[in-house]
């Protein structure tokens, strides 16, 4: 029996839907954005503040928690949620993305989208800046798993599907992901197929390792991951294969060119069972979130909200603004006249711009809180629009205002 249940409450004209995902630590009203707390914390934001912003769940990273403090420490603390004092549902990714960042992608600012990039989108890169160091610059993939060096001290480690599942069992998240190979969007078709086939074999091994632990099966759900890059035929094939294995839910992983995202995503969705929850991994740009919702995605996660916030960039209804720009030195208007994140009310652009230029921690914190709150409110608004049968208008109005 699965550790979660999923009920669809409303459907849009295309694939979009609103539902409720129930886990051992509470329900998630979908579609939902899941803030990323990589090392068991959402950078600069307390759990109580996350709740006030409207977060329903958080996602942490297997690679980072494996290295520090170690999954045994987290398990002894009572699991991820108890360790970080987060009362709601938790998720962990498999660590594959970070391991990939130590190998083929090390030091490369290859965006998840290879066309139509902006400086803001470049912040969401295939290369994960959190593993940048002089030490960890190696990841060697073979059919059994991945051997890699730690970005902390250069020590040698190895992840296999079974080991990733073992670590995630110890971390104790309500929902976790099978080990997969994350590829760059610029990899050729032949390698995308090779990586996809390897991901399928690893998915089956991950699922077997999970099902063998009867106690974990009662407490945790496992999602398989669809790969295949930008190629619609591979996405369809991968979706059919992952769906056939018996996972509790489905993740859409990998990366796309901007112009190919809709086609590749739609191809995968058309092959997935309607009744299973779907998670679009690593997606957090406002327009892409609404595109994913339209295509039937239920869950999203991304580090972009806090990553760009730490550097003074904030989402507004009229697009992203960069508070380091000279024009905001004496701009005493609200950060966004159309939205004030709980806990940031009353702060002006001029004040936050001053904090960012002065490298004061509060500036990054205010920007990060605003950005996470903005994205959570956007997705919550999309859910309400789905329930009321007006999602198309909601999406069109936002796209018009945000992108001009």
Within 13 A of 44's CA, how many CA atoms are on the CB side?
A: 22
Cα angle for residues 99, 102, 108 (degrees, 5° grid): 125
Residues 6+ apart with CB under 8 A from 1: 217, 218
User: Nearest Cα to 179, choosing from 83, 111, 247?
Assistant: 247
How far from 227 is each of 46, 125, 135, 170, CA to CA, in Å?
34, 17, 29, 26
CA 300, CA 281: separation in Å to the nearest integer?
6
Residues 6+ apart with CB under 8 A from 25: 81, 87, 88, 89, 90, 174
CA 247, CA 270: separation in Å to the nearest integer?
17
Question: β-pairing, 26-30 with 17-23?
Answer: antiparallel
Residues 6+ apart with CB under 8 A from 293: 16, 31, 379, 382, 386, 391, 395
CA 81, CA 60: separation in Å to the nearest integer?
10
Q: Where are the beta strands (DSSP E) in 142-220?
A: 146-149, 156-159, 175-177
Please identify every residue annotated as catalytic: 93, 301
User: Nearest Cα to 318, choosing from 306, 329, 333?
Assistant: 333
Verify cis geometry, omega within 30 degrees of 0, for the bond prior to 394.
Answer: no
Rounded to a whole number of angstroms, the CA Rg of the chain reads: 20
């Amino acid at each position: 029996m699965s550790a979660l249940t999923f009920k669809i409450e409303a459907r849009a004209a295309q694939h979009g839907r609103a539902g409720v995902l129930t886990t051992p630590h509470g329900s998630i009203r979908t579609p939902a954005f899941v803030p990323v707390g990589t090392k068991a914390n959402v950078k600069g934001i307390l759990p109580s503040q996350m709740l006030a912003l409207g977060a329903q769940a958080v996602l942490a990273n297997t690679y980072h928690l494996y290295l520090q403090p170690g999954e045994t420490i987290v398990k002894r603390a009572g699991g991820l949620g108890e360790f970080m004092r987060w009362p709601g549902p938790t998720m962990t990714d498999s660590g594959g993305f970070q391991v990939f960042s130590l190998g083929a992608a090390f030091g490369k600012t290859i965006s998840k989208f290879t066309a139509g990039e902006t400086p803001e989108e470049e912040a969401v890169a295939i290369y994960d800046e959190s593993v940048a160091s002089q030490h960890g610059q190696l990841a060697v993939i073979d059919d059994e798993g991945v051997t890699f060096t730690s970005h902390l001290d250069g020590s040698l480690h190895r992840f296999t599907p079974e080991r990733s599942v073992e670590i995630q069992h110890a971390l104790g998240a309500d929902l976790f992901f099978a080990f997969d190979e994350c590829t760059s969007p610029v990899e050729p078709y032949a390698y995308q197929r090779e990586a996809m086939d390897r991901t399928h074999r690893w998915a089956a091994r991950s699922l077997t390792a999970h099902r063998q632990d009867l106690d974990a099966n009662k407490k945790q759900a496992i999602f398989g991951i669809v790969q295949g890059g930008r190629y619609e035929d591979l996405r369809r094939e991968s979706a059919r294969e992952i769906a056939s294995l018996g996972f509790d839910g489905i993740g859409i992983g990998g990366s796309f060119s901007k112009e190919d995202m809709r086609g590749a995503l739609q191809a995968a969705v058309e092959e997935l069972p309607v009744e299973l929850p779907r998670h679009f991994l690593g997606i957090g740009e406002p327009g892409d979130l609404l595109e994913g919702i339209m295509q039937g995605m239920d869950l999203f996660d991304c580090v972009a909200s806090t990553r760009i916030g730490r550097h003074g960039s904030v989402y507004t209804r009229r697009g992203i603004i960069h508070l380091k720009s000279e024009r905001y030195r004496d701009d005493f208007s609200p950060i966004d006249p159309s939205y004030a994140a709980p806990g940031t009310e009353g702060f002006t652009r001029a004040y936050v711009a001053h904090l960012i230029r002065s490298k004061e921690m509060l500036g990054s914190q205010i920007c990060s809180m605003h950005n996470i709150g903005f994205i959570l409110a956007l997705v919550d608004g999309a859910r309400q629009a789905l329930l009321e049968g007006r999602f198309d208008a909601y999406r069109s109005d936002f796209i018009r205002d945000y992108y001009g």
